Structure 1
């Protein structure tokens, strides 16, 4: 089918498509935009339409898929806008100065609590915190793996008790 003939044939279905588009958008202007986009896609993919099949159904499918794709894109765009609004520069400056001071106090308290741990608990805990696996710590300290797990557990428990104000 030539483009001019195809264009005039799809224009016959415009009134039915307007009702269908309005049922999606609930706004006349948005419905007109959706119809226009549907017609553009139909013209672009006219070679995929098989003569003798249901043209109105084909156009409905294009419209529905176009609406769904636009809705998904709008949803993603709104999420990006919402997350950037939360991170305005004046908010970041205010929070970063406050967080820097708080972080320094917390860091000092953590170091004091670590200094109070017995060396038997401190060494396995620090190794674990640095990313070593239980079996690696056990091999390095020449102690059973169960002992490593117990000492790390006890170190956590003691630190949690000393730092409960930050809980």
Structure 2
């Protein structure tokens, strides 16, 4: 199948893809971007499509994976867009100077309490807190996956116990 024939084939599913993109993103512009990215990836990987298989399912999978990857990427960026009137959330910190100094003391106390917990638990928990997945922590520390999960759970439990009076 030539690239132009393949392009015609995938364009025949345009309405399906647009509806799916709108359902996933719930935004017209973002759905257009997602649809375009799906077409781009489909054409770029047209050699991987096997004739006779379900093209609609193949395109659906590409779109779904593209959406999930974009979501994970945006989630990991920890960006905050203040769309409130007069940038309320961005400007709120300017009026709370006293609260900021208390926050420093609070943070120091909390870190003191956290560091008083056994190092193996804290190390595993901090890796998880910093965005590592269970499997990655398991590989880096050369410990079983179950041990990673157990250490993170126990670290949370110990931190809760140490900070319960502080709340």
Q: Which has the higher helix share?
A: 1
TM-score range for the pair, normalised by the shorter chain length = 0.3 to 0.5
Structure whose alpha-carbon radius of gyration is higher:
1
